[in-house]
Structure 1
Amino acid sequence: MKYFWGGALLILLISCSSDSTNRNPYLQEVNFRFALNLNLPLYSGLNIIGNPVYVGNNGVGTRGAFVIKSSLDTYYAFEASCPNHTPNNCSTMTIEGQNVVCDCEGFTYNLFTGQQLDRPNDGKRYYDLLFYRATQSGNIVTISN
């Protein structure tokens, strides 16, 4: 029996791993929770798949958030500040279709995946969009971190 428990403990220790996620050094992890009522005209665009909305309210992320509906009941939310430099006067990105563009460098990011679409091949480390949780309950979509 002691071999069984010893083996189980060994398997448990081997299967555990530390989270090696490399967090973005330019953006702080801001804690927030914000509800979007899809019945309001300001957020009604989120009833359509692929139609992004900018949420620029105080306390939402660093520079606000972009929210997009990707399927009947799935929403994605991302930080609105460009992830590849510290927030400044040009770092709040703008929506172009289903992408967002950083006005500082012109970097483009996809709102369905969060990935940078035009990553330079210069050997430097580039970051994708900072992801926020987005959950739906009835006509309310809650974004949070």
Structure 2
Amino acid sequence: MNRIICLLLLFLVLSCDSDRAIRNPYIQEIGFRFDLNLSLPLYSPLTNPGSPVYIGLDGVGNRGVFVINAGFDQFRAFEATCPNHPPNSCSTMEIDGQNAICPCEDYEYSLFTGQQFNVPEDDNVYYNLLEYRAVQSGNSVIISN
């Protein structure tokens, strides 16, 4: 019986992953929930795949959230704060087609994947967009963190 317990404990210890996700030091991860009604004219572009909208309401993300209809009833939501420098007067990104652009350094990110397109070739660490949960429920999309 002791051998079984020892083997189980050994298995549990070895199966634990010590790798932790690298957190972005520039963006505070806050908790929020926002129900986005697709029937409202402001959010009606989201009924078409590939169409993003910006939600800049207080309490929705740090500086707002970008939401895009990624097709096949999938929605993606990303923080609108540029992830690669401390927040400042120019760090709220802007939509450019299906991408987000940081006006500070012209960093460009995909609103389908959150990945940065133009990563500088230097020794610095660069971050992709901070993604939030986006779940469709009927005619609403619930954005939360």
Give the TM-score band, short-chain normalised.
over 0.9
Counterpart-to-counterpart distance in 2, 1:114 and 1:44: 22
Identity %: 59
1:26 and 2:26 aligned: yes
Structure 1: unaligned runs, 5 residues or longer: none
Q: 1:1-145 residue pairs with structure 2 within 5 A?
A: 1-145=1-145
SS of residue matched to 1:26: coil
Counterpart-to-counterpart distance in 2, 1:79 and 1:16: 30
The count of aligned residue pairs is 145
What is the root-mean-square deviation in Å for CA atoms of aligned residues? 1.0
How far did residue 19 of structure 1 move? 4.7
Counterpart-to-counterpart distance in 2, 1:112 and 1:14: 36
Per-residue Cα deviation, 1:59-105 (whole angstroms, up to 9, x for no partner) = 11110000011122211100001001111111111111111100000
4+ residue runs over 6 A deviation: none
Comparing 17-26 and 134-143, the one that deviates more: 17-26
SS of residue matched to 1:66: strand
Structure 2: unaligned runs, 5 residues or longer: none
How far did residue 2 of structure 1 move? 2.3
